[in-house]
Amino acid sequence: MRRNWPQAGHFYEAEKLKRMSILINKDTKVLVQGVTGREGEFHTRAMLDYGTNVVAGVTPGKGGQFIEQNDDTVPVFNTVKEAVAMTGADTSVIFVPPPFGADAIFEAVDAGIQGIVCITEGIPIQDMMKCYRFLQERSGWMVGPNCPGLITPGECKIGIMPGDIFSPGNIGIVSRSGTLTYEIVDELTRAGMGQSTCVGIGGDPIIGSSFVDVLGWFEEDPATHAVVMSGEIGGNDEEKAAEFIKTMKTPVVGFIAGKTAPPGKRMGHAGAIVSGSAGTAQAKIEALNAAGVTVADLPNQVPELVRKALQK
């Protein structure tokens, strides 16, 4: 069944959704681009240990090799097209170096991959501008670049998130910061609040999926009863999200990092910079408050705010 997703620039096919999570689940067939590199192999093994259905890897010139982990054997192919044809992979996670990041995205989409998780940090903005335009003309979805990935606890982990802090439940998480995601998730898990799906959208100026995209997917997911949105200084994505939240029935709790950041100084992510009067933490908090979102001052306040939001 086709659904009307928020029109915020994502390239998502609604019929690909599995309804008890967003984007990924235990049936997702994962392909790893850059699988034989240090980071790619390390995190491929971690994903396999978590139970992710990794069906293939791709490294040009390394076709015919295998990545073996416990009882799992992952074949390596020279091209994404070959890997998709042989294994039916539908989602790719990208660990290639920054100069080749855009080409990896293009190759995945051209091969028919429906979901892309780009972990690579440092892809030039000019390259991502071309990728973003390319993606708008095609079906599917992309998270990243410069992101920790996403996870449906107990089913599938794609990226670099530490799976042991997550627990299955009904709280959705969307964040620009991987580290803050982990801190908030750990607080929720310790409070007995499991998560439906957690998405790290990435901290670069140009990314594949925005807050609005992910909030829309959570809004349509019957397994998500509340959402935690963790933002930071820089850009206006949080302000756009606040406008969208006004249309949501699912309660949202917020957290904004970077309150003490001086204007003109980049804090962590490439997109985390205050320019003039735009992108300040206070402006984002005020926009969220106006949308009815309670914003935590500290991550450890999030569980109690979620509890109160669910009771309303």
DSSP 53-102: -EEEEE-TT-TT-EEEETTEEEEEESSHHHHHHHH---EEEE---GGGHH
pLDDT surpasses 70 at 201: yes
Catalytic residue among 10, 43, 225, 269: 269
Under the banding of pLDDT at 50, 70 and 90, the label for residue 272 is: very low
Q: What pLDDT, in 10s, does the model give residues 117-145?
A: 999 999 999 999 999 999 988 889 999 99
Q: Domain 162-311 belongs to what topology?
A: Rossmann fold (3.40.50)
What are the start-end ranges of the H helices in 172-264? Answer: 178-190, 211-219, 237-245
Residue 268: per-residue pLDDT: 54
Residue 103 has pLDDT above 80, yes or no: yes
Residues forming CATH 3.40.50.261 domain(s) in the chain: 162-311
Q: What are phi and psi of 124, to 5 degrees?
A: -55, 145
What integer is the mean pLDDT of 95-103? 97
- Of the listed ranges 53-57, 76-80, 102-106, 273-277, the least confidently predicted one is 273-277
> So what's the pLDDT on residue 234?
77
Query: Could you confirm whether 269 is annotated as catalytic?
Result: yes
Q: Where in the chain is the domain with CATH 3.40.50.720?
A: 22-143
Q: Is the pLDDT of residue 14 over 70?
A: no
pLDDT of residue 15: 42
Q: Domain 22-143 adopts which CATH fold?
A: Rossmann fold (3.40.50)
